[in-house]
Amino acid sequence: MAFIPPAYVSQDELADRVGALARALVPRLRCEPIVIGVMKGAFMFTADLVRQFHALGIAPRLDFITVSSYGFGAQRADAVAIVQDHSLEVNQAQVVLVEDIIDSGHTLKTLQSHFINKGVAELLTVVLLDKPSGRATSVLVDSVGFTVPDGFWVGYGLDYAGNYRGLPYIARIQP
């Protein structure tokens, strides 16, 4: 039987926090913002956030972008590559960028520059987990779900070597 790590952030805590993030963002949103989730780690967070927006009367358009900042294993690289770009036109649009975790800051900084260079009218950044102990570059974030200590985080879309993405909660593991 595979090891199943215990919850650090429960399903109920996730649901409550995603709802709170959505309610806090709604006053800043236009009626049809473009929500762009960063694949693969932010897919669950993005889906739940979009459902909350709909429940609050906001009808966002949804898209995804895929980046790579890991080489082999769990060593983070400073270079970030866009593997698959989003497909919706973002020039002069309001974009809500949804990321799973901010660690070094390199990925988020690269993505923010990418969208600014595409001419977005406004870019709001929402991050589920903030791990400030890993920060190597400064980056601005509009909304954070949870601040977490150093460690390797999995579940709710986040993985380690392709495992644990489907956990309905956030867990901390020792790879």
Active site residues: 103
**Could you give the residue ranges of the DSSP H alpha helices within 33-149?**
43-55, 106-117
Contacts of residue 169, defined as CB under 8 A and 6 or more positions apart, other chains included, come to 7, 8, 9, 10, 11, 14, 155, 156
Place of tokens 């960063």: 38
- SS3 category, 90: coil
Chain-centre distance for alpha carbon 99: 1
The tally of CA atoms less than 13 A away on the side-chain side of residue 13 is: 12
Distance CA(133)–CA(76), nearest Å, equals 14
Distance CA(103)–CA(112), nearest Å, equals 15
- 20, amino acid identity: A
- SS3 category, 83: strand
